[in-house]
Amino acid sequence: MDNKLTMVEAVNLALDHAMDNDPDVVLLGEDIGVNGGVFRATQGLRDKYGLKRVMDTPLAETLIAGISVGMAAQGMKPVAEIQFMGFIFPAMEQLICHAARMRNRTRGRLACPLVLRAPFGGGIHAPEHHSESTEALFAHIPGLRVVIPSSPVRAYGLLRAAINEPDPVIFLEPKRIYRASKQIIDVASDPLPLDTCFTLKVGQDVTLVSWGASVRETMEAADILEGHGIFAEVIDVATIKPLDMETILTSVRKTGRCVIVHEACRSFGVGAEIAAGLMERAFDDLKAPVERVTGFDTTMPYYRMEDHYLPQADDIVRASIKSLARH
């Protein structure tokens, strides 16, 4: 069997293995059963695990989150799919007012070990409301974890970890790279840590920090820079919350320069949190102001203009050169 998988196939494999390991893991969402999900993330799982464990819900996102809270309070491990992140908002009250708080408000008597998966981000020429990146909304909420893979291997390892986690995890899948590359998945590997950044490329001149689909453009930019003799260190944040500042700090203390890249709007975003952390703890090591290469503070444009919104490799190269110009 060819075990080189795309990211969406890796998601499917992680769900399969988690269900195989633990009968309390159940899947629910819209069109996830016989249809296998609109991106096919749950393909084949209903046939394998049956109707009781792979549940097509009515078209009701508030309900999907609400029943996930109820099942999780009973000690089950619901893994719910919201079809697109643009439709996650009816679920917000359940996530913020209940899922995130259940452990705290019962002092640990009940907990909420749910995973809510949602494809997110732009770049696939989708209709309105299908391309936003609103990870910061969730990262702001005490009690939640927010995880974003950027490769098939990390999708597999992080989703396994998310399902094992005893608290709610928002697992955002960058759909632009669902099928962008294939990797061999080592199914015997341990789940990946949910509090650690991944250093994808080692360098000493500038630190590039990104997550999700933008990791691709960030790596591309690092290659371009390398062609000019500039060696960038590239960090995939992967777990937005809790944020592993230590890995970022260690890198920036070495390079003295940092460029943060994200698809989401700039203001009040995760990039701002990272920049603040650098100011607090690496102020004396910084040789240049922290740069942010991000989406604009505009509504996500319809797809004809989305490439003018999404950060591109040349934007990242320019920001890096700007940073390097400071002494």
Partner 1 sequence: MDLTANPSLAMEQFLDAEGEVIKRLPAWVSNQDTLIDYYRSMVIARQADQKAVALQRTGKMGTYPSCLGQEAISTVCAALLEKEDVLIPYYRDLPGLMRRGIALSDVMLYWGGDERGSASPAWGQDLPNCVPIATQAGHAAGIATAIKIRHEAGDPLQVALCALGDGATSKGDFGEALNLAGAWQLPVVYIINNNQWAISVPRKIQSGAPTLAQKGLAAGLPSYQVDGNDVIALHEVVSAAIDRARQGKGATVIEAVSYRLCDHTTADDASRYRASEELKEAWQQEPIKRLRNFLHHRGLWDEHKEQALKDEADRIIEQAVATYLNTPLPAIEDLFDYHYANMPAQLEQQKNEALAREQMRQENMKSAGGHLNG
- Give the catalytic positions in this structure: 130
Does the footprint of partner 1 cover residue 53 (CB under 8 A)? yes
Residue 68: name the closest of 21, 100, 20 by CA.
Answer: 100
Determine phi and psi for 255, rounding to 5 degrees.
-90, -30
Nearer to partner 1, 44 or 75 (CB): 75
3-state secondary structure of 109: coil
User: Interacting stretch for partner 1, rule CB under 8 A, among 37-45, 94-102, 258-266, 282-290?
Assistant: 94-102
Among 29, 66, 86, 122, binds partner 1 (CB under 8 A): 66
Cα–Cα dist 245/255, whole Å: 15
Pick between residue 7 and residue 240 the one whose CB is nearest to partner 1. 240
Binds partner 1 (CB under 8 A): choice among 2, 142, 284, 304: 142
CA–CA distance from 148 to each of 84, 86, 237, 307 (Å)? 14, 16, 8, 21
The size of the chain, in residues, is 327
Residue choice 38, 70, 87, 312 for contact with partner 1 (CB under 8 A)? 70
Task: Give the helix ranges, DSSP H, for the chain.
Answer: 7-21, 45-49, 61-73, 92-94, 102-105, 135-139, 152-164, 214-227, 245-255, 270-282, 306-309, 313-324
Q: Are 171 and 159 in contact (CB under 8 A)?
A: yes
* Binding residues with partner 1: total (CB under 8 A): 49
Alpha carbon 86 to its chain centroid, in Å, reads 15
Return the residue of 17, 46, 103, 130 that touches partner 1, per CB under 8 A: 103
Interface with partner 1 includes 26 (CB under 8 A)?
Answer: yes
Confirm if 251 and 281 have CB atoms less than 8 A apart. Answer: no
DSSP state of 284: G
Pick the closest to residue 170 from 145, 207, 136, 133 (CA basis). 145
In whole angstroms, the minimum distance from the beta carbon of 40 to partner 1 comes to: 24
Region of 3-11, 52-60, 254-262, 316-324 interacting with partner 1 (CB under 8 A) = 52-60
User: Per rule CB under 8 A, is residue 92 in the interface with partner 1?
Assistant: no
| Distance from C-alpha of 233 to C-alpha of 205, rounded to nearest angstrom | 7
- Of 265, 317, 312, nearest to 291 by C-alpha is 317
Contact between 104 and partner 1 per CB under 8 A: yes
Interaction of residue 60 with partner 1, rule CB under 8 A: yes
Site for partner 1 in 215-254 (CB under 8 A): 241-246
Q: Which of 12, 42, 68, 150 binds partner 1 (CB under 8 A)?
A: 68
Q: Is 21 in the site for partner 1 (CB under 8 A)?
A: no
Going residue by residue from 181 to 220, which x/- string records binding to partner 1, judged by CB under 8 A?
--------------x-------------------------
Q: Is 300 in the site for partner 1 (CB under 8 A)?
A: no
User: Of the listed pieces 8-16, 86-94, 127-135, 213-221, which binds partner 1 according to CB under 8 A?
Assistant: 86-94
* ω into 113 cis (within 30 of 0): no
Q: Name residue, tokens 């643009």.
A: 86
Binding site for partner 1 (CB under 8 A): 26, 52-53, 55, 57-58, 60, 62-63, 65-76, 78, 90, 93-94, 97-98, 103-111, 142-143, 145, 165-167, 195, 241-246
